[in-house]
Amino acid sequence: MLNVIDHPLIRHKLTVMRDKNTGTKDFRENLDEIGGLMVYEITRDLPTKEIEIETPICKTKADTLAAPIVVAPILRAGLGMVSGILSIVPTAKVAHIGMYRDEETLEPHPYFEKYPHHMEESTVIIVDPMLATGGSSAAAIDMVKKQGATNIKLVCLVGAPEGVKLIEELHPDVDIYLAALDDHLNEKGYIVPGLGDAGDRIFGTK
């Protein structure tokens, strides 16, 4: 299911990021801040369980998270959202999925993966600012499913309808969260209007 998280602060920060005159520092800071704002919404339906604790006054039952959380950035650009997310869920574990998209064929190429234990019992939040053709995110979802994960959320900043359609077709069990659903992909596979190449803008590589 697609969820577009519509919030004035997110819209404002995303506008700063879309502006081609925004430099690396501001781009990074706004991406991180949006990551934190989005994760508050994304975690709204996390399962909780009741445990018994003792307050300074008496014994009582109270809620705690029922399952571990794993944040799984798709490298490189997904790294740009991790610290903002961890500022809200500091106990989350972090998986790393290295993936680049071939500029000609637009096919995803995985080059690294590293996971914490107990993926099968965790809520896995895959993060990548850009959902373009959807090839990279679909491949990342396949990879975490191979690790046994069943409760998976995909969190991107900007998505194209083409990418949303692919994920909905291949992984109908995965909830998709976007800050904005853009118009279309151009002939080079870039999101329009988009924000350009997220990885290059985060890391200053162009």
Ligand X SMILES: O=P(O)(O)OC[C@H]1O[C@H](OP(=O)(O)OP(=O)(O)O)[C@H](O)[C@@H]1O
What whole-number distance in Å separates Cα of residue 64 and Cα of residue 105?
46
Residues 154-173 that bind ligand X (CB under 6 A): 163
| Binding residues among 88-147 for ligand URA as defined by CB under 6 A | 130, 132
- Does 135 carry a binding-site annotation? yes
- The answer for residues whose C-beta is within 8 angstroms of residue 205's C-beta and 6 or more apart is 199
Spatial separation of the C-alpha atoms in residues 89 and 189, rounded to whole Å: 33
Selected binder of ligand URA within 3, 75, 197, 203 (CB under 6 A): 197
Helix (H) or strand (E) holding 99: strand 96-101
Total residues interacting with ligand URA, rule: CB under 6 A = 10
Helix crossing, 135-146 with 161-170: angle to 10°?
30
Whether 135 and 156 have beta carbons less than 8 Å apart is answered as: no
Minimum CB separation of residue 197 from Mg ion in Å reads: 4
Mask of contacts with ligand X, 85-124, x by CB under 6 A?
--------------xxx----x-x----------------
- Least distance in Å: CB of 27 to ligand URA? 12
Residues that bind ligand X (CB under 6 A): 74, 76-77, 99-101, 106, 108, 128-137, 163, 189, 197-199
